Chain A
Amino acid sequence: MRFDVGDRVRTQNRNSLGHTRLPAYLRGRDGEIVRRLGAFPLPDVRVSGSADAPKEELYTVRFAAAAVWGETAQEPDVCADLFAPYLERAE
């Protein structure tokens, strides 16, 4: 799936047992695409040593602090670079 800047997305709540670049604190969170970074080999597949891991689009996604740490969060918003397979479209 491809996304554009401004799209609302939700991160997958995956029960990952292997290497991934989707951190636990960003699973199942709502955010917004703020930058498209291009396509790169998916780390979750490349970890097998595969030289031909599929390239996937990478995006900078911004999450409101309250969406990550809770309603009373005082921290700044969180930005993370996440691959398309980690994301689904949100309303």
Chain B
Amino acid sequence: MTRINDVGGMTGFGAIDVSDDAPGFHHEWEARVFAINRLLLQKGVYNLDEFRDAIERMDPLDYLEASYYERWLHGIETLLRAKGLIGAL
């Protein structure tokens, strides 16, 4: 069995942009999500494998529709809710 993130070898997603001048962030909020995640990892609120797992457990349709940093935000929210650090959104 596999999860929706495990798409290695699957065709149909189009070419990957591998140019070096691609921007790291497309929106200001993405940089904030990046920073929040780094801080929570550094503080030991969760570890990197918990974070990856939280993203991998996303609903498959939501996963495919979400952008890269939308998935990060979903993972952060899922873990903070599970650990009782934030309430229901």
Contact = CB atoms under 8 A, between A and B. Distances in A.
B1 A25 contact: no
Interface of B: 1-2, 6, 8-9, 46-47, 49-50, 52-53, 56
Interface of A: 15-19, 23-26, 43, 46-49, 68-69
Q: What 8 A-B pairs are tightest by C-beta distance, nearest first?
A: A19-B53, A47-B49, A25-B9, A24-B2, A43-B49, A46-B49, A25-B8, A47-B53
Contacts of B8: 23-26
Contacts, number: 33
Contacts of B53: 18-19, 47
B27 to A, nearest CB: 28
Given A17-B1, A46-B50, A47-B52, 4 more contacts: A16-B1, A23-B8, A26-B8, A49-B50
Given A23-B8, A24-B8, A25-B9, A15 B1 contact: yes
Contacts of A46: 47, 49-50
B47 A49 contact: yes
Contacts of A24: 2, 6, 8-9
Nearest to A42: B49
B49 A23 contact: no
Nearest to A75: B9
Contacts of A15: 1
